[in-house]
Amino acid sequence: MKNLIKTSILGLALLVSSITFAQDRMANNVDNSTIHLQGYSPVSYLDLGIAQKGLKEFKSVHEKITYYFTSAEQKATFDKNPNKYKPQYGGFCAFGTYAGAKFRPDPNKFIVKDGKYFLFLYDLNLDAQQLWLNEKNHNKLVAGADKNWKKLSKTHN
Check pLDDT > 50 for residue 4. no
Whole-model pTM: value is 0.82
C-alpha dist (Å) from residue 113 to 14, 119, 152: 40, 11, 22
Dump pLDDT digits (tens) for 36-60: 999 999 999 999 999 999 999 999 9
Give the whole-angstrom CA distance, residue 103 versus residue 43.
22
Dump pLDDT digits (tens) for 107-153: 999 999 999 999 999 998 999 999 999 999 999 999 999 999 999 99
Per-residue confidence (pLDDT) for residue 32, from 0 to 100: 72
Q: Write out the DSSP string of 28-90.
A: S-B-TT-BBGGGB-HHIIIIISS--B-EEEEEEEETTEEEEESSHHHHHHHHH-GGGGPPGGG
Side chain identity at residue 97, one-letter code: T
Cβ atoms of 64 and 34 within 8 Å: the answer is yes
Instruction: Tell me the HSE value of 62 on the side-chain side, using a 13 A CA sphere.
Output: 20
Dump pLDDT digits (tens) for 9-21: 333 333 333 333 3
b/e burial code for range 105-136 (CB count within 10 A of at least 16 → b): bbbebbbeeeebbbbbbbeeeebbbebbeeee
